[in-house]
Amino acid sequence: MTDQTALSFASMSAPADGVAVVFAEEGPKLTQAAQDLDKKTKGQLTKAAQITGFNGKKGSSVDLLAPQGVKFSRIVLVGTGKPSSFTQEDWLNLGGTVRGLLSGRESAAAHLYLDTAKGDLAADDIASFALGAQLRGYTFKKYKSKTPKKNGNADETDDKTLKKIVVHCADPRAASHAFAPNRAIVDGVTLARDLVNEPANVLGPAEFAGRAKALTKAGVKIEVLGDAALKKLGMGALLAVGQGSERPSHVVVMQWKGAGAKGGAPIAFVGKGVTFDTGGISLKPAAGMEDMKGDMAGAACVVGLMQALAERKAKVNAVGIVGLVENMPSGKAQRPGDVVTAMSGSTIEVLNTDAEGRMVLADCLWYAQEKFKPKAVVNLATLTGAVMVALGKEHAGIFSNNDELADRLIAAGKETGEKLWRLPLGPKYDKMIDSKVADVKNTGGKWGGSISAAQFLQRFIKEGTPWAHLDIAGTAMSSVDSDINRSWGSGFGVRLLDQLVKDHYERR
């Protein structure tokens, strides 16, 4: 849900009450703002620091209650370690950490004083800090009863009292200006997380398409293709996956023309949107199957990204395409051994109905290339469990037919902290998916499962189209707690691809 906490910028001396947050570097070396508060409280802050052995190390903090001589109800002194060597990701994470410290503080306002021992911070650093703070404020509380039950599981996000965060800095106008695009990113990531967290009884293909339609308000052109249109296009692979479900399949096409006619061909983003993956007739085991409500995280990222690009009016021509299906076993479901024809004309032997994501993407990728002749295609999918075996939950896997595109994505990953690790493609791997009866089969055997899945996708990429596939099964859902996210869905990919666009695909 969108964070209800408003964030604004003000000067160092602007009026303030509630909770104050100030910083100290390793030593501890208090920043100017921290020293000021220490003076006003007649040394209470340094005293509290001494008592607790606070040394300014990153992640450490001191909480001073009911300080004398100031309006604040409490002062939190936060250690930053060595901020002189901070990257944008470090500032982002610090903002998240501080937002986490504010929860449950029973105060309506928090005032954060951003400076260093040496002096002022760059506007970009402040903007990253504020982005981290807003992202950490996200909660998915839609299905929690309003009045918490006794012994209910309270958590850090039960801070109904915090209404506003004010970031105090030397140049609030510059900081506010630098933060403007980040508000769009917060909204995009929030939307992606909301979609991933939503259970599948509420969010099926039609409902997902409905949520994507709301992007019209931001200026995105939306087209929803239903059953008849998909049949007409010949999307036999995508439709085969959805045929076992009572809920009809959809494809949503989103266009943002921020660079106008002169901007040329668009960059295309394609997302796997399996709103629930039971495995189909090749049914998954019961344990952990609930996680498959998040099997649309690739599509969620694409929608969140399009929202962010439109809201910050990015000077880019971009299309987003998501394939929305529910993979269910039923009397109408596809069977192992079935042969279906994809939109490209290639025939697919379905060896395992649980290898469904690649079939959905095959038709979406082909459609993207046929319809838009894009200058590059990036797809995202929670495609294989195997990518988690290889990379854990730290990196998403990237596969690409184009070194420049791969390098750009990996660099954007380093800038944003949404990290990618490249895995190989090649003719020997491609052989693994040759079929005896059809052009291709949808599984490649026991080993290198993420690679054979990527090889399958590449069969639907035209010669000369720069393409990258991001396998986000480990990074988009069932997230490990981080400084900037505590919810199940992470919104992985929105910040990454926004950065890619900003660095390489926007008209200046």
x/- string (CB under 5 A) for Mn ion, residues 270-289?
Answer: -------x------------
- Which DSSP string do the residues of 277-340 spell out, in sequence order? E--TTSPPPSTTGGGGGGTTHHHHHHHHHHHHHHHTT-S-EEEEEEEEEEE--STTS--TT-EE
Q: Considering beta carbons, is residue 159 or 295 the nearer one to Zn ion?
A: 295
CA torsion through residues 139, 89, 34, 179, sign = negative
Among residues 98, 386, 440, 451, the one that binds ligand BES under rule CB under 6 A: 386
- 3-class DSSP state for residue 261? helix
Quote the DSSP letter at residue 502.
Answer: I
Q: Is 238 in the site for ligand BES (CB under 6 A)?
A: no
Q: How many residues belong to the site for ligand BES (CB under 6 A)?
A: 15
Q: Which of residues 416-455 bind ligand BES (CB under 6 A)?
A: 443, 449
Q: Is 295 in the site for ligand BES (CB under 6 A)?
A: yes
Q: Which of residues 464-493 bind ligand BES (CB under 6 A)?
A: 473
- The CB-of-54 to ligand BES minimum distance in angstroms stands at 41
Q: Considering beta carbons, is residue 37 or 360 the nearer one to Zn ion?
A: 360
How deeply is 246 buried, as exposed, middle or buried, from its count of CB atoms within 10 A (0-12, 13-18, 19+)? exposed
**Distance (Å, rounded) from C-alpha 307 to C-alpha 115?**
32
Length of the chain: 508
Q: Considering beta carbons, is residue 98 or 473 the nearer one to ligand BES?
A: 473
- Which DSSP string do the residues of 159-186 spell out, in sequence order? -TT--EEEEE-S-HHHHHHHHHHHHHHH
| Token pair belonging to 156 | 């850090």
The residue among 203, 181, 319, 197 whose CA lies nearest residue 255 is: 319
Q: Considering beta carbons, is residue 258 or 273 the nearer one to ligand BES?
A: 273
- The CB-of-274 to Zn ion minimum distance in angstroms stands at 5
x/- string (CB under 6 A) for ligand BES, residues 363-382?
Answer: -------------------x
Q: Considering beta carbons, is residue 31 or 452 the nearer one to ligand BES?
A: 452
In angstroms, the Cα distances linking 239 to 118, 218, 248, 322 are 61, 30, 9, 13
Q: Considering beta carbons, is residue 116 or 249 the nearer one to Mn ion?
A: 249
| Token pair belonging to 281 | 């007739």
Bridge partners (DSSP) of residue 63 are 76
- The CB-of-235 to ligand BES minimum distance in angstroms stands at 18
Q: Considering beta carbons, is residue 334 or 382 the nearer one to ligand BES?
A: 382
Bridge partners (DSSP) of residue 319 are 255, 268
x/- string (CB under 6 A) for ligand BES, residues 262-291?
Answer: ---------------x-------------x
- The CB-of-423 to ligand BES minimum distance in angstroms stands at 14
- The CB-of-38 to ligand BES minimum distance in angstroms stands at 50
Q: Considering beta carbons, is residue 192 or 325 the nearer one to Zn ion?
A: 325
> Which residue has the CB atom at the shortest distance from Zn ion?
277
Q: Residue 319's binding partner, choosing from ligand BES, Zn ion, Mn ion, none, with beta-carbon cut-off 5 to 8 A by kind? A: none
- Which residue matches tokens 């042969």? 339
Max Cα distance, the chain (Å): 83
- The CB-of-49 to ligand BES minimum distance in angstroms stands at 45
Q: Residue 78's binding partner, choosing from Zn ion, ligand BES, Mn ion, none, with beta-carbon cut-off 5 to 8 A by kind? A: none
> Which residue has the CB atom at the shortest distance from Mn ion?
354
**What is the chain's alpha carbon radius of gyration, rounded to the nearest angstrom?**
25
Torsion of CA 148, 152, 154, 158, to 10 degrees: -10
Whether the CB-CB separation of 77 and 54 falls below 8 Å is answered with yes
Q: Is 277 in the site for Zn ion (CB under 5 A)?
A: yes
Q: Is 109 in the site for ligand BES (CB under 6 A)?
A: no
Whether the CB-CB separation of 272 and 380 falls below 8 Å is answered with yes
x/- string (CB under 5 A) for Mn ion, residues 220-259?
Answer: ----------------------------------------
Q: Residue 352's binding partner, choosing from ligand BES, Mn ion, Zn ion, none, with beta-carbon cut-off 5 to 8 A by kind? A: ligand BES
Q: Considering beta carbons, is residue 280 or 491 the nearer one to Zn ion?
A: 280
| Token pair belonging to 296 | 């649309």
Q: Is 354 in the site for Mn ion (CB under 5 A)?
A: yes
Q: Residue 449's binding partner, choosing from Zn ion, Mn ion, ligand BES, none, with beta-carbon cut-off 5 to 8 A by kind? A: ligand BES
Catalytic residues: 284, 358
**Per-residue b or e along 171-210, where b marks 16 or more CB atoms closer than 10 Å to that residue's CB:** bbebbbebbebbbbbbbbbbbbbbbbbbebeebbbbbbbe
- The CB-of-472 to Zn ion minimum distance in angstroms stands at 12
Q: Which of residues 329-358 bind ligand BES (CB under 6 A)?
A: 352, 354-357
Q: Which stretch, 329-337, 356-364, 432-440, 457-465, contacts Mn ion (CB under 5 A)? A: 356-364
Residues with Cβ < 8 Å from 42, sequence gap 6 or more? Answer: 68, 69
Q: Within a 10 A sphere around the Cβ of 138, how many other Cβ atoms? A: 25
Q: Which of residues 347-366 bind Zn ion (CB under 5 A)?
A: 357
- Residues binding Zn ion (CB under 5 A): 274, 277, 295, 357
Q: Which residues bind Mn ion (CB under 5 A)?
A: 277, 354, 356
Binding site for ligand BES (CB under 6 A): 277, 291, 295, 352, 354-357, 382, 384-386, 443, 449, 473
